[in-house]
Structure 1
Amino acid sequence: MSNYKFILSGGGTGGHIYPAISIANELKSRFPEAQFLFVGAKDRMEMEKVPEAGYEIKGLWISGIQRRLSLKNFVFPFKLIDSFLKAGKIVKQFKPTMVIGTGGYASAPLVKVASAKGVKCVIQEQNSYPGIANKFLAGKAEKIFVAYDGLERFFPKNKIIKTGNPVRQDILNVSANVEEALEYFQLNKNKKVLLVLGGSLGARAINKLIEKELNFFAENNIQVIWQCGKLYYEEYKKYENKNIKVLAFLNKMNLAYTAADVIISRAGAGTVSELCIVGKPVIFIPSPNVAEDHQTKNAKALSGRNAAVLVKEVSLDSRFEKEFKSIITSETRQKELSKNIKKLALPHATKHIVDEIEKILKTL
């Protein structure tokens, strides 16, 4: 049997969407006759990104509970009921062979309803500290694919399989040489390069830091590839010069990673997994404005193994220059961080996940 029908559900952020797309692509390569349907949250980025990847998607009227007192919280019970009813209709009409949840609010009603109807379900948790949806669904899943150790605190131990997080294919095949990368960004091969990753929208705290430290970088002969995000490009493009390259997006991530000597980044799960594979020295500046402060927990999982440096936003003024200088001026420190972060890389996560899915399919 190869005419399987898969529903993949997850979204809200790229960290939930891109793993789902990677898993779907691998399943499609193994089962070309299979049918796929994605289920996400209406008005979230998955409604745009999934069709761009070539898959159909249906949206649920679902969102999270606001942490502060908000009128939106009064609507939440109605959204939840509506989402469960619509999830039930989707499962009944599509008749999936299996449901794959990758986290985010939309996955909770879909996986819950599917498992209640006897459909085999698996979930994939990207973070070192699970989200609410996946903790809620753990009891219903056949298998739980994770990227970090120690998640027995949250999930049944017999269901956990450590696979790592799916990453973009071009990251697995970084073939550019340093000369090509430096030429692409028009940088000097005799100066060190700092790569700053603020995400597609940008990170205000990181952008403010880089703006403040431009003289420090100049004094230390540092070139910067500064991906400031589309929300901030107009504000920061004025700093562009031969040593500072300001970009809204990075279309050639493999070249950016190749050119970099040190990387500054947020600590979303997908980014952390990518950076383990890339294997360059990293300073993580986690966003404090995410659920359960999971970015800090992700970064600590690496800094605790001397595989990266963690600097919290509140400590940037007192710690950043010292930490950055200790890395950029020491080849030994750079090699140490690179060696340790590479040890944590799990580059074949997508294949491993789909191998496990295949094992379940063979029991049907």
Structure 2
Amino acid sequence: MTKPYKIILSGGGTGGHIYPAIAIANELKYRYSNAEFLFVGAHDRMEMEKVPHAGYKIEGLWITGIQRKLTLKNLSFPLKLISSLIKAKRILKEFKPDVAIGTGGFASGPLLQTAVMRGIPTLIQEQNSFPGITNKLLGKKVNTICVAYDGLERFFPKNKIVKTGNPVRKDLLAIEGKSITAKDHYKLKHNKHTLLVLGGSLGARSINQLIEKQLNFFSDNNVQILWQCGKLYYEQYKHYNSLENVQVFAFIDTMDLAYAATEIIISRAGASSVSELCIVGKPVIFVPSPNVAEDHQTKNAQSIVAKEAAILIKESELESEFQNRFSELLSSATLRETLSKNIKSLALVNATNAIVNEVEKLLKQS
């Protein structure tokens, strides 16, 4: 009997990096039940909570990103980087992984860089159409690069790229028929429209401000709200839980039930979110963040809207456009059905399997 594989994964900072890593780990665990897993994250970021919650061990590195503007925080970056490289070297020496997988975020840089230097097979998964700094730097060194968009040859060696799509949690693939159970779980009324509001794991100020301004409008239109405001904003908005038609969360853990319970979704357009929402197949209003590199959220949303599969409202147009666009969607079952059908047709449901197939190739080489 061969020894069980040891697999190390690193990705974090936001849910967009953490959940793909967990999805990959879950599929590998399904295929190799005796495999041993270890995650590596940034010690003060959300992965230190979410990864153990998913049932995996995690070690933290003392690392942060480089601020894009001049700031005193950047002065400590070299020290943190050296510290993280030393700890990553110790972790790899002790754990002895057969493969190292990175899904982006601060901690994956030192971990994957050290793995490359030690000759460990390495794979990174890039969710966006414009890679982050960490994956850009790692791209020339790792063995395999799994991507979700065309045209990434601008950033990565063409011979290393495999188009797989973005991994999603398996529970999202099976939300059909859960509507009644899901509404009961959240104690929602069955005779009201349900709106799910997602601003990312940390929250989105503009979306939160929009929802707060429109609470009377929603109430007047028989709409109840599941509102993930993000952990940065929960203290500011949690008092709205006192309203009959509003439930405010810092973070929603049972996303399969939240998706199953809802009829309309308002969301940012990060790559992982877009991939999930294609699989969920519910009508979506995208409000892209304008504060990301190369404005890739707007480009993500536009690619969906071009297929008549979602509605896009820019942050700058929320004040003037939102009520009209939302009312149109709420009043037209035909429009909702069209958007649902079209966005579901864009789903790459086998992304996680495709990525793990690439991991298996590296395991067989190790």
TM-score normalised by length of structure 1: 0.89
- Preserved CA contact (<8 Å) 2:15 2:200: no
**Structure 1 residue aligned with 2:279, among 277, 280, 283?**
277
Partner of 2:39: 38
Q: Which residue of 2 aligns with 1:90?
A: 91
**Cα gap change, 1:177/1:118 in structure 2, threshold over 3 Å: closer, same or farther?**
closer
Question: Match of 2:257?
Answer: 255
Which residue number in structure 1 is paired with residue 120 of structure 2? 119
Deviation for aligned residue 1:79: 2.1
Q: Per-residue deviation at 1:239?
A: 6.4
1:327 to 321, 326, 329: 329
TM-superposed CA distance for 1:181, in Å, is 3.8
Runs of 5+ unmatched residues, structure 1: none
Letter in 1 for 2:7: F
Deviation, structure 1 residue 240: 4.6
Distance 2:118 2:88 in 1: 11
Q: Percent identity?
A: 62
- Paired position in structure 2 for 1:318: 320
CA contact under 8 A between 1:37 and 1:55: conserved in structure 2? yes
- Tell me: CA distance 1:236–1:96, structure 2 relative to 1, closer, same or farther (3 Å): closer
CA–CA separation in structure 1 for the residues paired with 2:116 and 2:230: 39
Q: Deviations over 1:234-290 (max 9, x none)?
A: 635346544444444445433332232211012233222211111011011123344
- d(CA) in 1 for partners of 2:63, 2:237: 34
1:4 correspondence with 2:2: no
CA separation in 2, counterparts of 1:45 and 1:251? 13
SS class of match (1:345)? coil
- Whether the aligned pair in 2 keeps the contact of 1:277 and 1:342 (CA below 8 Å) is yes
Alignment of 1:236-315 (within 5 A): 236-238=238-240, 240-315=242-317
Corresponding letter in the other structure for 1:43: D
**Contact persistence 2:99–2:362 (CA under 8 A):** no
CA distance in 1, matches of 2:49, 2:191: 42
Mapped pair 1:21 → 2:13? no
Q: What is residue 338 of structure 2 aligned with on the other side?
A: 336
2: distance between equivalents of 1:306 and 1:247? Answer: 30
Rounded Cα–Cα distance in structure 1 between residues aligned with 2:258 and 2:13: 26
Specify the alignment match of 2:170 in structure 1. 169
Match of 2:72 in 1: 71
Residue 206 of structure 2 corresponds to which residue in structure 1?
205
**2: CA distance between counterparts of 1:152 and 1:280?**
32
Q: Which moved more, 1:176-185 or 1:90-99?
A: 176-185
* 360 and 283 in structure 1: CA distance in 2 versus 1, 3 angstrom threshold: same
Structure 2 unaligned runs (5+)? Answer: none
Deviation string, structure 1 residues 89-146 (Cα, Å, up to 9, x no partner): 3333332211111111211122122212221111011122211111111112222112
How many angstroms apart in 1 are the aligned matches of 2:129 and 2:347? 14
Read off the aligned partner of 2:67 and give its amino acid letter.
Q
State the match for 2:223 in structure 1: 222
In structure 1, C-alpha distance between the alignment counterparts of 2:267 and 2:121, rounded to whole Å: 37
TM-align CA RMSD: 2.5
SS of residue paired to 1:288: coil
Count of residues in correspondence between the two structures:
364
2:68 pairs with 1:62: no
What's the TM-score, normalizing by structure 2?
0.89
* Residue aligning to 2:350: 348
The residue type equivalent to 1:282 in the other structure is V
SS of alignment partner, residue 336 of structure 2: helix
Counterpart residue identity of residue 8, structure 2: I
C-alpha change, 1:119 and 1:251, in structure 2 (3 Å) is closer
